Amino acid sequence: MIENHNLHIYNTLSGEKEKFESLNPPMVGMYVCGPTVYSDVHIGNLRTFMSFDLVFRYLKHLGYKVRYVRNITDVGHLESNADTGEDKISKKARLEQLEPMEIVHRYTHDFHQVLESFNNLPPSIEPTATGHLIEQIEITKTLIEKGLAYESEGSVYFDVTKYNQEHNYGELSKRNIEDLMANSRTLDGQDEKRNPQDFALWKKASAEHIMRWPSPWSEGFPGWHLECTVMSTKYLGEQFDIHGGGMDLKFPHHECEIAQAKGAFDQAPVKYWMHANMLTLNGQKMSKSTGNTILPKELFSGDNHFFEKAFHPMVVRFFMLQAHYRSVLDLSNEAMLAAEKGFNRLMLAGKSIENLPISENTSFDLHQWVKLCHEKMDDDFNSPMLIAQLFDMVKYINAILDGSETINQHDHIILKMRWDEFVHQILGLYAVENISGNKALDGAMQLLIEQRDKARANKDWATSDEIRDRLAQYGITLKDGKEGTGYSVE
């Protein structure tokens, strides 16, 4: 199965779509920069993690044995890219008067809850920065020995100028280091650095910084960029297939990862660099300071000022999958309402597949449809195009139901399997009515719908409307369709 695919991935490094060939088939090693657990997971990050959940699922579908490593940054992520400002977790701990690890645990737990409600698969390994301090210290020593890092006032910095003599700092983000250096202002705390572009591998802890460990240079903590280089290469090898993350991490974070790895291991760490694009809200960049921001749980519960109702996580997931991961995606009330309609249409059609009437022949080319579905996903994980293909099949499903198209026994089985593969396993969507406890609801609704049908057959519109209106009060919407009446729950 693996040799048969035609998967092409857009590689930020080359700026082109490249045919995917894993370094050690049938294995694939993928690393994605995870959250810094100092606050509720951001909805833009949720989009990024979902994008790589899609990648993970599709690679597994293709038959690869994928080791997906996604880290937890539980120390060392400073507020400023210039290595100044407070550690985000430290700051939150100080403000809430809690031990930093309590902050870490609370937001790690929240992160897991949100991703699970979003039906993301757990990664293979979820290493923490604090769980790899010794390795980070060892790599820092290596870089110092190789003349690519230096100690200054107890901190250790990576020497970008030195690195750039042999390599190309800026190769990923296509920046020119001379331009970078010319444009850098001299900021506070930059005196320790030989060059403003240099970045911390190890930071000496200030007096208030609770999280600190001994090292050859000072009591301190690791630099954020180094954490990812260490954790990715430890579990995936010094060279691995895919590195993913949000587009905002391209520079300096991912650029630094390349530099650290090339410096320490003398080879490029990553074959395919994948970046997911941003999420905007009502056409504007999301920002806490402007108030143009929303938490995933606020979107799911409806407890916000931007949307007229609550939206189930599956609807939000569907909405996100309708855009290509490399496109900017705008979140708005209208867009979500439309997505919800689309999602319900898709799920309803999926439920109908089980009971399609079987004929002698199939009147359309199912196999061509399956081939097209794969082609769309092979084209850099083009989920919106896959979804369009699924809606094509919705038309066929309805046509089979009304008799204008037919399907035979064999193709019926194929269609069930493929629908399940594409909708549930690859896109990670499931019908909202299928949450546990709803077998009972299906049963009770069946009775009520039968009663309403009986009333309508007797032209007793008052009873029919009363049942509909009473159910609406409980958040249950009846949907009259060609095949009978279904329902959805708010």
| Closer residue to a copy of itself (CB): 82 or 471 | 471
Interaction between residue 109 and a copy of itself (CB under 8 A): yes
- Phi then psi for residue 443, to 5 deg, are -65, -50
Q: In 171-309, which ranges are E strands?
A: 199-204, 220-222, 240-246, 270-276, 279-281, 284-285
Tell me how far, at minimum, the Cβ of 353 lies from a copy of itself, in Å: 22
For tokens 């949720």, the residue is 46
Tell me how far, at minimum, the Cβ of 50 lies from a copy of itself, in Å: 18
Instruction: Give the interface segment with a copy of itself, choosing from 102-110, 201-209, 313-321, 396-404 (CB under 8 A).
Output: 102-110
Interaction between residue 213 and a copy of itself (CB under 8 A): yes
Interaction between residue 127 and a copy of itself (CB under 8 A): yes
Tell me how far, at minimum, the Cβ of 349 lies from a copy of itself, in Å: 21
Tell me how far, at minimum, the Cβ of 38 lies from a copy of itself, in Å: 15
Interaction between residue 445 and a copy of itself (CB under 8 A): yes
| Closer residue to a copy of itself (CB): 1 or 447 | 447
Interaction between residue 462 and a copy of itself (CB under 8 A): no
For tokens 């690791």, the residue is 222
Interaction between residue 436 and a copy of itself (CB under 8 A): yes
Work out the end-to-end distance of the chain between its first and last CA atoms, rounded to an integer number of angstroms.
Answer: 41
> Exactly one of 185, 457, 473, 482 binds a copy of itself (CB under 8 A); which one?
473
Whole-number Å distance between alpha carbons of 357 and 297: 41
| Closer residue to a copy of itself (CB): 425 or 438 | 438
Site for a copy of itself in 59-78 (CB under 8 A): 67
Interaction between residue 479 and a copy of itself (CB under 8 A): no
> Exactly one of 40, 86, 126, 330 binds a copy of itself (CB under 8 A); which one?
126
Binding flags for a copy of itself, 224-263, as an x/- string (CB under 8 A):
-----------x----------------------------
| Closer residue to a copy of itself (CB): 394 or 448 | 448
Tell me how far, at minimum, the Cβ of 390 lies from a copy of itself, in Å: 25
Interaction between residue 22 and a copy of itself (CB under 8 A): no
- Relative orientation angle of helices 133-145 and 224-236, to the nearest 10 degrees: 100
Whole-number Å distance between alpha carbons of 116 and 462: 43
For tokens 């905007």, the residue is 280
Binding flags for a copy of itself, 131-150, as an x/- string (CB under 8 A):
xxxxx--x------------
Tell me how far, at minimum, the Cβ of 236 lies from a copy of itself, in Å: 9
Tell me how far, at minimum, the Cβ of 281 lies from a copy of itself, in Å: 26
Cβ–Cβ < 8 Å for 329, 280: yes
Interaction between residue 439 and a copy of itself (CB under 8 A): yes
Tell me how far, at minimum, the Cβ of 49 lies from a copy of itself, in Å: 15
> Exactly one of 442, 460, 480, 483 binds a copy of itself (CB under 8 A); which one?
442
Residues at the interface with a copy of itself (CB under 8 A) = 67, 99, 101-102, 104-105, 109, 112, 122-128, 130-135, 138, 213-214, 235, 433, 435-448, 451, 467, 470-471, 473-476, 489-490
